Structure 1
Amino acid sequence: MAEVLNLAGIRKGYGGGEAPWVEVLHGIDLTLSEGEFVGLIGPSGSGKSTLLNIMGLLEPPSGGELTIAGERAEVLDDAARTRLRNRYLGFVFQFHHLLPAFSALENVLMPVFAGEGRLPPGARESAQALLERVGLSAHAGKRPVQLSGGQQQRVAIVRALANRPRLVLADEPTGNLDTQTAADVFALMREINRDDGVTFLIVTHDARLASTCTRVLNLVDGRFAASDA
Protein backbone atom coordinates (compact mmCIF):
# COMPACT_ATOMS: atom_id res chain seq x y z
CA MET A 1 0.00 0.00 0.00
CA ALA A 2 1.16 3.52 -0.74
CA GLU A 3 2.46 5.55 2.18
CA VAL A 4 0.25 8.51 3.10
CA LEU A 5 2.08 9.89 6.13
CA ASN A 6 5.37 9.21 7.87
CA LEU A 7 6.69 10.53 11.17
CA ALA A 8 10.33 10.02 12.03
CA GLY A 9 11.63 11.01 15.45
CA ILE A 10 8.91 13.63 16.02
CA ARG A 11 9.40 15.62 19.20
CA LYS A 12 7.35 18.45 20.61
CA GLY A 13 8.09 20.64 23.59
CA TYR A 14 6.98 23.93 25.06
CA GLY A 15 8.81 26.58 27.02
CA GLY A 16 12.12 28.37 26.61
CA GLY A 17 13.51 31.59 27.97
CA GLU A 18 12.55 31.85 31.62
CA ALA A 19 9.96 29.08 31.30
CA PRO A 20 11.23 25.52 31.78
CA TRP A 21 11.28 23.34 28.67
CA VAL A 22 8.68 20.59 28.84
CA GLU A 23 8.70 17.90 26.14
CA VAL A 24 5.36 16.19 25.52
CA LEU A 25 6.24 14.00 22.51
CA HIS A 26 9.45 12.00 22.68
CA GLY A 27 10.64 10.80 19.28
CA ILE A 28 7.45 9.48 17.64
CA ASP A 29 7.85 7.14 14.66
CA LEU A 30 4.74 6.24 12.67
CA THR A 31 3.73 5.30 9.14
CA LEU A 32 0.15 5.44 7.86
CA SER A 33 -0.61 3.68 4.59
CA GLU A 34 -3.39 4.14 2.08
CA GLY A 35 -6.67 2.61 3.21
CA GLU A 36 -5.83 2.15 6.89
CA PHE A 37 -8.38 2.80 9.63
CA VAL A 38 -6.33 3.51 12.73
CA GLY A 39 -7.43 4.27 16.28
CA LEU A 40 -5.36 6.39 18.64
CA ILE A 41 -6.01 5.90 22.35
CA GLY A 42 -4.27 6.96 25.54
CA PRO A 43 -4.89 8.65 28.87
CA SER A 44 -5.66 12.35 29.15
CA GLY A 45 -2.48 14.40 28.85
CA SER A 46 -0.57 11.73 26.92
CA GLY A 47 -0.10 14.01 23.89
CA LYS A 48 -2.79 12.71 21.53
CA SER A 49 -4.16 16.09 20.46
CA THR A 50 -0.66 17.54 20.14
CA LEU A 51 0.33 14.66 17.87
CA LEU A 52 -2.81 15.11 15.79
CA ASN A 53 -2.12 18.85 15.43
CA ILE A 54 1.39 18.13 14.17
CA MET A 55 0.16 15.51 11.71
CA GLY A 56 -2.48 17.99 10.52
CA LEU A 57 0.13 20.74 10.02
CA LEU A 58 -1.64 22.90 12.58
CA GLU A 59 1.51 23.29 14.66
CA PRO A 60 5.16 22.47 13.93
CA PRO A 61 7.21 19.77 15.65
CA SER A 62 10.22 20.74 17.74
CA GLY A 63 12.26 18.07 16.00
CA GLY A 64 12.04 15.14 13.61
CA GLU A 65 10.71 14.70 10.08
CA LEU A 66 7.11 14.76 8.85
CA THR A 67 6.32 13.51 5.35
CA ILE A 68 2.87 13.70 3.75
CA ALA A 69 2.27 12.08 0.36
CA GLY A 70 6.03 12.01 -0.23
CA GLU A 71 6.61 15.68 0.63
CA ARG A 72 8.60 16.83 3.64
CA ALA A 73 6.23 19.12 5.51
CA GLU A 74 8.17 20.46 8.49
CA VAL A 75 10.56 22.38 6.22
CA LEU A 76 7.81 24.22 4.31
CA ASP A 77 6.74 27.80 4.88
CA ASP A 78 3.22 28.64 6.09
CA ALA A 79 1.74 29.08 2.62
CA ALA A 80 3.14 25.79 1.36
CA ARG A 81 1.95 23.93 4.46
CA THR A 82 -1.53 25.36 3.95
CA ARG A 83 -1.58 24.14 0.35
CA LEU A 84 -0.40 20.69 1.43
CA ARG A 85 -3.04 20.56 4.16
CA ASN A 86 -5.86 21.59 1.82
CA ARG A 87 -4.78 19.08 -0.81
CA TYR A 88 -4.29 15.95 1.28
CA LEU A 89 -5.93 16.30 4.70
CA GLY A 90 -9.43 16.45 6.14
CA PHE A 91 -10.43 17.10 9.76
CA VAL A 92 -13.28 16.02 12.02
CA PHE A 93 -13.49 17.23 15.62
CA GLN A 94 -15.51 16.32 18.73
CA PHE A 95 -17.44 19.56 18.38
CA HIS A 96 -18.41 19.82 14.75
CA HIS A 97 -17.42 23.52 14.37
CA LEU A 98 -20.05 24.10 11.72
CA LEU A 99 -20.61 27.77 10.92
CA PRO A 100 -24.05 28.61 12.34
CA ALA A 101 -24.92 31.29 9.78
CA PHE A 102 -24.52 28.90 6.84
CA SER A 103 -26.51 25.93 5.59
CA ALA A 104 -25.28 22.34 5.72
CA LEU A 105 -24.42 22.51 2.01
CA GLU A 106 -22.51 25.77 2.44
CA ASN A 107 -20.58 24.32 5.38
CA VAL A 108 -19.52 21.35 3.26
CA LEU A 109 -18.32 23.73 0.57
CA MET A 110 -16.16 25.80 2.95
CA PRO A 111 -12.92 23.78 2.52
CA VAL A 112 -13.30 23.90 -1.26
CA PHE A 113 -13.71 27.67 -1.22
CA ALA A 114 -10.81 28.06 1.23
CA GLY A 115 -8.52 25.98 -0.94
CA GLU A 116 -9.51 27.41 -4.31
CA GLY A 117 -10.56 30.94 -3.37
CA ARG A 118 -13.69 30.25 -5.39
CA LEU A 119 -16.14 27.44 -6.09
CA PRO A 120 -14.99 25.51 -9.18
CA PRO A 121 -17.56 24.11 -11.62
CA GLY A 122 -19.37 21.11 -10.19
CA ALA A 123 -18.39 21.81 -6.57
CA ARG A 124 -21.94 22.43 -5.42
CA GLU A 125 -23.18 19.26 -7.12
CA SER A 126 -20.37 17.22 -5.54
CA ALA A 127 -21.17 18.58 -2.09
CA GLN A 128 -24.85 17.77 -2.57
CA ALA A 129 -23.90 14.22 -3.59
CA LEU A 130 -21.85 13.84 -0.40
CA LEU A 131 -24.80 14.92 1.70
CA GLU A 132 -27.04 12.50 -0.17
CA ARG A 133 -24.57 9.72 0.55
CA VAL A 134 -24.97 10.20 4.31
CA GLY A 135 -28.73 10.60 4.14
CA LEU A 136 -28.83 14.38 4.50
CA SER A 137 -29.78 15.47 1.00
CA ALA A 138 -33.14 16.77 2.23
CA HIS A 139 -31.40 18.81 4.93
CA ALA A 140 -28.87 20.57 2.68
CA GLY A 141 -30.52 23.95 3.13
CA LYS A 142 -30.85 23.75 6.92
CA ARG A 143 -28.58 25.58 9.32
CA PRO A 144 -26.75 23.59 12.03
CA VAL A 145 -29.20 24.60 14.78
CA GLN A 146 -31.94 22.84 12.81
CA LEU A 147 -30.03 19.54 12.80
CA SER A 148 -29.57 16.90 15.48
CA GLY A 149 -26.13 16.25 16.98
CA GLY A 150 -25.63 13.16 14.84
CA GLN A 151 -26.71 15.01 11.71
CA GLN A 152 -24.31 17.85 12.48
CA GLN A 153 -21.44 15.41 12.88
CA ARG A 154 -22.33 13.71 9.58
CA VAL A 155 -22.15 17.15 7.93
CA ALA A 156 -18.73 17.61 9.55
CA ILE A 157 -17.57 14.27 8.15
CA VAL A 158 -18.61 15.05 4.58
CA ARG A 159 -17.08 18.52 4.96
CA ALA A 160 -13.80 16.74 5.73
CA LEU A 161 -14.20 14.83 2.45
CA ALA A 162 -15.01 17.86 0.30
CA ASN A 163 -11.45 18.24 -1.01
CA ARG A 164 -11.11 14.48 -1.55
CA PRO A 165 -8.29 14.08 1.00
CA ARG A 166 -6.06 11.06 1.29
CA LEU A 167 -6.05 11.22 5.08
CA VAL A 168 -8.77 12.25 7.54
CA LEU A 169 -7.72 13.12 11.09
CA ALA A 170 -10.55 12.82 13.61
CA ASP A 171 -10.19 14.05 17.21
CA GLU A 172 -12.83 12.40 19.44
CA PRO A 173 -15.45 12.66 16.66
CA THR A 174 -18.02 10.71 18.68
CA GLY A 175 -17.19 12.08 22.13
CA ASN A 176 -20.17 14.43 22.19
CA LEU A 177 -22.73 11.87 20.97
CA ASP A 178 -24.90 9.25 22.63
CA THR A 179 -23.84 5.61 22.34
CA GLN A 180 -25.99 4.63 19.36
CA THR A 181 -25.31 7.82 17.39
CA ALA A 182 -21.59 7.42 18.10
CA ALA A 183 -21.69 3.88 16.71
CA ASP A 184 -23.54 5.11 13.61
CA VAL A 185 -21.01 7.91 12.98
CA PHE A 186 -18.10 5.52 13.47
CA ALA A 187 -19.69 3.05 11.05
CA LEU A 188 -20.08 5.85 8.48
CA MET A 189 -16.37 6.67 8.68
CA ARG A 190 -15.53 2.98 8.34
CA GLU A 191 -17.76 2.73 5.28
CA ILE A 192 -16.04 5.71 3.63
CA ASN A 193 -12.66 4.20 4.47
CA ARG A 194 -13.62 0.83 2.99
CA ASP A 195 -15.40 2.10 -0.13
CA ASP A 196 -13.16 5.04 -1.06
CA GLY A 197 -9.79 4.00 0.35
CA VAL A 198 -9.49 7.16 2.46
CA THR A 199 -7.09 6.67 5.39
CA PHE A 200 -8.47 7.56 8.82
CA LEU A 201 -6.67 8.24 12.10
CA ILE A 202 -9.22 8.55 14.89
CA VAL A 203 -8.55 9.66 18.45
CA THR A 204 -11.12 8.00 20.70
CA HIS A 205 -11.62 7.24 24.38
CA ASP A 206 -14.15 4.53 23.55
CA ALA A 207 -12.39 1.15 23.71
CA ARG A 208 -15.36 -0.57 22.08
CA LEU A 209 -15.16 1.67 19.01
CA ALA A 210 -11.36 1.48 18.93
CA SER A 211 -11.60 -2.32 18.78
CA THR A 212 -13.26 -2.03 15.35
CA CYS A 213 -10.20 -0.27 13.89
CA THR A 214 -7.71 -2.19 11.79
CA ARG A 215 -4.88 -0.97 14.04
CA VAL A 216 -4.83 0.71 17.43
CA LEU A 217 -2.04 2.96 18.69
CA ASN A 218 -1.67 3.54 22.42
CA LEU A 219 0.07 6.79 23.35
CA VAL A 220 1.34 6.94 26.92
CA ASP A 221 3.41 9.84 28.26
CA GLY A 222 4.35 11.02 24.78
CA ARG A 223 5.47 7.60 23.51
CA PHE A 224 3.75 4.72 21.79
CA ALA A 225 3.43 1.53 23.79
CA ALA A 226 6.02 -0.95 22.55
CA SER A 227 3.53 -3.12 20.66
CA ASP A 228 1.91 -0.22 18.75
CA ALA A 229 3.22 1.98 15.88
Structure 2
Amino acid sequence: MAEVIRLEGVRKGYGGGEAPWVEVLHGVDLVLHEGEFVSLAGPSGSGKSTLLNIMGLLEPPNDGALTIAGERAEALDDDARTRLRNRYLGFVFQFHHLLPAFSALENVLMPVFAGTGRLPAGAREHALALLERVGLAEHAGKRPVQLSGGQQQRVAIVRALANRPRLVLADEPTGNLDTQTAAEVFALMHDINREQGVTFLVVTHDERLAQDCPRRVNLVDGRIAPSPALVG
Protein backbone atom coordinates (compact mmCIF):
# COMPACT_ATOMS: atom_id res chain seq x y z
CA MET A 1 0.00 0.00 0.00
CA ALA A 2 1.13 3.52 -0.74
CA GLU A 3 2.24 5.68 2.15
CA VAL A 4 -0.02 8.61 3.00
CA ILE A 5 2.05 10.13 5.78
CA ARG A 6 5.42 9.39 7.37
CA LEU A 7 6.97 10.87 10.51
CA GLU A 8 10.63 10.19 11.26
CA GLY A 9 12.24 11.30 14.51
CA VAL A 10 9.65 14.04 15.02
CA ARG A 11 10.25 16.18 18.10
CA LYS A 12 8.17 19.05 19.41
CA GLY A 13 8.55 21.21 22.47
CA TYR A 14 7.42 24.55 23.85
CA GLY A 15 9.03 27.25 25.89
CA GLY A 16 12.12 29.38 25.64
CA GLY A 17 13.15 32.70 27.04
CA GLU A 18 11.98 32.89 30.64
CA ALA A 19 9.72 29.85 30.21
CA PRO A 20 11.36 26.45 30.69
CA TRP A 21 11.67 24.28 27.60
CA VAL A 22 9.34 21.28 27.71
CA GLU A 23 9.58 18.64 25.01
CA VAL A 24 6.22 16.98 24.29
CA LEU A 25 7.13 14.60 21.47
CA HIS A 26 10.39 12.67 21.72
CA GLY A 27 11.40 11.36 18.33
CA VAL A 28 8.11 9.95 17.00
CA ASP A 29 8.27 7.50 14.09
CA LEU A 30 4.94 6.69 12.44
CA VAL A 31 3.73 5.62 9.00
CA LEU A 32 0.12 5.47 7.80
CA HIS A 33 -0.77 3.77 4.54
CA GLU A 34 -3.53 4.31 2.04
CA GLY A 35 -6.86 2.86 3.19
CA GLU A 36 -5.91 2.27 6.83
CA PHE A 37 -8.25 2.95 9.74
CA VAL A 38 -6.14 3.62 12.82
CA SER A 39 -6.99 4.61 16.38
CA LEU A 40 -4.61 6.80 18.37
CA ALA A 41 -4.76 6.17 22.10
CA GLY A 42 -2.91 7.50 25.11
CA PRO A 43 -3.44 9.15 28.48
CA SER A 44 -4.10 12.86 28.82
CA GLY A 45 -0.88 14.81 28.38
CA SER A 46 0.76 12.12 26.26
CA GLY A 47 1.05 14.44 23.25
CA LYS A 48 -1.85 13.25 21.08
CA SER A 49 -3.13 16.74 20.22
CA THR A 50 0.39 17.96 19.48
CA LEU A 51 0.97 14.97 17.21
CA LEU A 52 -2.29 15.61 15.34
CA ASN A 53 -1.40 19.29 14.94
CA ILE A 54 1.91 18.36 13.33
CA MET A 55 0.37 15.70 11.09
CA GLY A 56 -2.33 18.21 10.13
CA LEU A 57 0.29 20.86 9.23
CA LEU A 58 -1.13 23.20 11.85
CA GLU A 59 2.31 23.60 13.41
CA PRO A 60 5.80 22.44 12.40
CA PRO A 61 8.02 20.04 14.36
CA ASN A 62 11.20 21.29 15.99
CA ASP A 63 13.14 18.38 14.52
CA GLY A 64 12.57 15.33 12.35
CA ALA A 65 11.01 14.68 8.96
CA LEU A 66 7.37 14.84 7.89
CA THR A 67 6.32 13.52 4.50
CA ILE A 68 2.74 13.70 3.16
CA ALA A 69 1.87 11.84 -0.04
CA GLY A 70 5.55 11.85 -0.97
CA GLU A 71 6.06 15.57 -0.31
CA ARG A 72 8.42 16.75 2.43
CA ALA A 73 6.54 19.15 4.67
CA GLU A 74 8.42 19.87 7.90
CA ALA A 75 10.15 23.02 6.65
CA LEU A 76 7.42 24.54 4.48
CA ASP A 77 6.26 28.10 5.05
CA ASP A 78 2.67 28.89 6.08
CA ASP A 79 1.34 29.31 2.55
CA ALA A 80 2.86 26.07 1.33
CA ARG A 81 1.56 24.18 4.38
CA THR A 82 -1.92 25.56 3.74
CA ARG A 83 -1.85 24.41 0.11
CA LEU A 84 -0.64 20.94 1.08
CA ARG A 85 -3.23 20.70 3.87
CA ASN A 86 -6.09 21.65 1.56
CA ARG A 87 -4.90 19.16 -1.04
CA TYR A 88 -4.46 16.06 1.12
CA LEU A 89 -6.02 16.44 4.58
CA GLY A 90 -9.43 16.60 6.22
CA PHE A 91 -10.32 17.22 9.86
CA VAL A 92 -13.10 16.16 12.22
CA PHE A 93 -13.22 17.43 15.80
CA GLN A 94 -15.14 16.61 18.98
CA PHE A 95 -17.23 19.74 18.50
CA HIS A 96 -18.42 20.05 14.93
CA HIS A 97 -17.57 23.78 14.56
CA LEU A 98 -20.26 24.29 11.93
CA LEU A 99 -20.96 27.93 11.11
CA PRO A 100 -24.45 28.68 12.46
CA ALA A 101 -25.38 31.25 9.81
CA PHE A 102 -24.86 28.83 6.93
CA SER A 103 -26.71 25.75 5.72
CA ALA A 104 -25.37 22.21 5.94
CA LEU A 105 -24.42 22.34 2.26
CA GLU A 106 -22.70 25.70 2.62
CA ASN A 107 -20.73 24.42 5.62
CA VAL A 108 -19.59 21.40 3.61
CA LEU A 109 -18.41 23.68 0.79
CA MET A 110 -16.45 26.01 3.08
CA PRO A 111 -13.07 24.21 2.86
CA VAL A 112 -13.42 23.93 -0.92
CA PHE A 113 -14.02 27.66 -1.24
CA ALA A 114 -11.32 28.51 1.32
CA GLY A 115 -8.77 26.45 -0.55
CA THR A 116 -9.31 28.03 -3.97
CA GLY A 117 -11.33 31.22 -3.39
CA ARG A 118 -13.99 29.82 -5.69
CA LEU A 119 -16.13 26.74 -6.16
CA PRO A 120 -14.66 24.46 -8.84
CA ALA A 121 -16.98 22.79 -11.34
CA GLY A 122 -18.71 19.83 -9.75
CA ALA A 123 -17.98 20.88 -6.16
CA ARG A 124 -21.63 21.45 -5.28
CA GLU A 125 -22.69 18.17 -6.86
CA HIS A 126 -19.93 16.30 -4.99
CA ALA A 127 -21.00 17.88 -1.68
CA LEU A 128 -24.64 16.96 -2.28
CA ALA A 129 -23.63 13.39 -3.13
CA LEU A 130 -21.70 13.14 0.13
CA LEU A 131 -24.65 14.47 2.10
CA GLU A 132 -26.85 11.90 0.41
CA ARG A 133 -24.33 9.19 1.32
CA VAL A 134 -24.69 10.03 5.02
CA GLY A 135 -28.48 10.31 4.82
CA LEU A 136 -28.69 14.09 4.96
CA ALA A 137 -29.58 15.10 1.40
CA GLU A 138 -32.98 16.32 2.47
CA HIS A 139 -31.37 18.45 5.19
CA ALA A 140 -28.85 20.17 2.91
CA GLY A 141 -30.61 23.53 3.22
CA LYS A 142 -30.99 23.44 7.00
CA ARG A 143 -28.81 25.38 9.42
CA PRO A 144 -26.94 23.54 12.20
CA VAL A 145 -29.47 24.56 14.88
CA GLN A 146 -32.12 22.64 12.95
CA LEU A 147 -30.08 19.42 13.07
CA SER A 148 -29.51 16.90 15.87
CA GLY A 149 -26.05 16.43 17.38
CA GLY A 150 -25.46 13.29 15.35
CA GLN A 151 -26.60 14.99 12.16
CA GLN A 152 -24.28 17.92 12.82
CA GLN A 153 -21.33 15.59 13.29
CA ARG A 154 -22.20 13.79 10.06
CA VAL A 155 -22.13 17.16 8.30
CA ALA A 156 -18.69 17.73 9.86
CA ILE A 157 -17.49 14.39 8.47
CA VAL A 158 -18.80 15.29 5.02
CA ARG A 159 -17.06 18.67 5.28
CA ALA A 160 -13.79 16.83 6.00
CA LEU A 161 -14.28 14.85 2.77
CA ALA A 162 -15.25 17.78 0.56
CA ASN A 163 -11.72 18.29 -0.81
CA ARG A 164 -11.30 14.55 -1.52
CA PRO A 165 -8.50 14.16 1.07
CA ARG A 166 -6.09 11.24 1.30
CA LEU A 167 -6.09 11.38 5.11
CA VAL A 168 -8.73 12.40 7.67
CA LEU A 169 -7.56 13.30 11.17
CA ALA A 170 -10.37 12.92 13.69
CA ASP A 171 -9.85 14.22 17.24
CA GLU A 172 -12.44 12.65 19.59
CA PRO A 173 -15.12 12.87 16.86
CA THR A 174 -17.69 11.04 19.00
CA GLY A 175 -16.74 12.50 22.37
CA ASN A 176 -19.72 14.86 22.46
CA LEU A 177 -22.33 12.26 21.44
CA ASP A 178 -24.40 9.70 23.32
CA THR A 179 -23.32 6.05 23.10
CA GLN A 180 -25.67 4.97 20.32
CA THR A 181 -25.05 8.04 18.16
CA ALA A 182 -21.29 7.70 18.71
CA ALA A 183 -21.40 4.11 17.48
CA GLU A 184 -23.40 5.18 14.41
CA VAL A 185 -20.95 7.99 13.56
CA PHE A 186 -17.97 5.67 14.05
CA ALA A 187 -19.58 3.06 11.81
CA LEU A 188 -20.12 5.74 9.16
CA MET A 189 -16.42 6.61 9.18
CA HIS A 190 -15.57 2.91 8.81
CA ASP A 191 -17.94 2.68 5.83
CA ILE A 192 -16.39 5.71 4.14
CA ASN A 193 -12.93 4.28 4.77
CA ARG A 194 -13.89 1.00 3.06
CA GLU A 195 -15.85 2.57 0.20
CA GLN A 196 -13.52 5.43 -0.71
CA GLY A 197 -10.14 4.23 0.54
CA VAL A 198 -9.65 7.36 2.66
CA THR A 199 -7.17 6.82 5.50
CA PHE A 200 -8.49 7.68 8.96
CA LEU A 201 -6.53 8.40 12.13
CA VAL A 202 -8.99 8.66 15.02
CA VAL A 203 -8.29 9.77 18.57
CA THR A 204 -10.84 8.22 20.91
CA HIS A 205 -11.04 7.49 24.62
CA ASP A 206 -13.87 5.04 24.02
CA GLU A 207 -12.23 1.65 24.38
CA ARG A 208 -15.10 -0.14 22.64
CA LEU A 209 -14.71 2.03 19.57
CA ALA A 210 -10.92 1.77 19.62
CA GLN A 211 -11.17 -2.00 19.59
CA ASP A 212 -13.11 -1.81 16.32
CA CYS A 213 -10.06 -0.38 14.56
CA PRO A 214 -7.81 -2.76 12.59
CA ARG A 215 -4.73 -0.94 13.91
CA ARG A 216 -4.04 0.89 17.15
CA VAL A 217 -1.22 3.32 17.90
CA ASN A 218 -0.42 4.03 21.54
CA LEU A 219 1.27 7.30 22.47
CA VAL A 220 2.78 7.33 25.97
CA ASP A 221 4.84 10.23 27.33
CA GLY A 222 5.46 11.56 23.84
CA ARG A 223 6.65 8.25 22.39
CA ILE A 224 4.99 5.55 20.33
CA ALA A 225 4.60 2.47 22.51
CA PRO A 226 4.40 -1.06 21.06
CA SER A 227 0.86 -2.37 20.60
CA PRO A 228 -0.52 -5.41 18.82
CA ALA A 229 -2.67 -5.03 15.74
CA LEU A 230 -6.37 -5.42 16.42
CA VAL A 231 -8.71 -7.40 14.26
CA GLY A 232 -11.55 -5.16 13.08
TM range, smaller chain: over 0.9
Q: Return the alpha-carbon distance in structure 1 between the equivalents of residues 228 and 103 of structure 2.
A: 41
Conservation of the 8 A alpha-carbon contact between 1:89 and 1:166? yes
Q: Secondary structure at the match of 1:60?
A: coil
Q: Secondary structure at the match of 2:46?
A: coil
Shift of the 228–55 alpha-carbon distance from structure 1 to 2, 3 Å rule, reads: farther
Shift of 1:174: 0.2
Conservation of the 8 A alpha-carbon contact between 1:41 and 1:205? yes
Q: Secondary structure at the match of 2:21?
A: strand
Amino acid at match of 2:60: P
Shift of 1:227: 3.4
Conservation of the 8 A alpha-carbon contact between 1:218 and 1:228? no
Conservation of the 8 A alpha-carbon contact between 1:168 and 1:199? yes
Matches within 5 A, 1:8-27: 8-27=8-27
Conservation of the 8 A alpha-carbon contact between 2:45 and 2:221? yes
Conservation of the 8 A alpha-carbon contact between 1:168 and 1:201? yes
CA displacement, residues 144-170 of structure 1 (integer Å, 9 cap, x when unaligned): 011000000000000000000000000
Q: Secondary structure at the match of 1:5?
A: strand
Identify the residue that residue 212 of structure 2 maps to in structure 1. 212
What's the TM-score once normalised by structure 2's chain length? Answer: 0.97
Q: Return the alpha-carbon distance in structure 1 between the equivalents of residues 132 and 14 of structure 2.
A: 44
Identify the residue that residue 185 of structure 2 maps to in structure 1. 185
CA displacement, residues 114-144 of structure 1 (integer Å, 9 cap, x when unaligned): 1111011221111111100100001000000
Identify the residue that residue 110 of structure 2 maps to in structure 1. 110
Amino acid at match of 1:222: G
Identify the residue that residue 60 of structure 1 maps to in structure 2. 60
Identify the residue that residue 158 of structure 2 maps to in structure 1. 158
Identify the residue that residue 40 of structure 1 maps to in structure 2. 40
Q: Return the alpha-carbon distance in structure 2 between the equivalents of residues 169 and 228 of structure 1.
A: 21
Amino acid at match of 2:12: K
Shift of the 45–145 alpha-carbon distance from structure 1 to 2, 3 Å rule, reads: same
Amino acid at match of 2:121: P
Amino acid at match of 2:130: L
Q: Secondary structure at the match of 1:28?
A: strand
CA RMSD of aligned residues (A): 1.0
Q: Return the alpha-carbon distance in structure 2 between the equivalents of residues 226 and 120 of structure 1.
A: 44
Identify the residue that residue 126 of structure 2 maps to in structure 1. 126
Shift of the 202–99 alpha-carbon distance from structure 1 to 2, 3 Å rule, reads: same
Amino acid at match of 1:158: V
Identify the residue that residue 6 of structure 2 maps to in structure 1. 6
Identify the residue that residue 93 of structure 2 maps to in structure 1. 93
Q: Return the alpha-carbon distance in structure 2 between the equivalents of residues 61 and 147 of structure 1.
A: 38
Q: Return the alpha-carbon distance in structure 1 between the equivalents of residues 226 and 178 of structure 2.
A: 33
Amino acid at match of 1:169: L
Provide the identity percentage. Answer: 85
Shift of the 88–228 alpha-carbon distance from structure 1 to 2, 3 Å rule, reads: farther
Identify the residue that residue 168 of structure 1 maps to in structure 2. 168
Identify the residue that residue 139 of structure 1 maps to in structure 2. 139
Amino acid at match of 1:188: L
Conservation of the 8 A alpha-carbon contact between 1:37 and 1:200? yes
Q: Return the alpha-carbon distance in structure 1 between the equivalents of residues 10 and 32 of structure 2.
A: 14
Conservation of the 8 A alpha-carbon contact between 1:11 and 1:24? yes
Shift of 1:226: 2.7
Q: Which runs of 5+ in 1 are unaligned?
A: none
Q: Return the alpha-carbon distance in structure 1 between the equivalents of residues 135 and 73 of structure 2.
A: 36
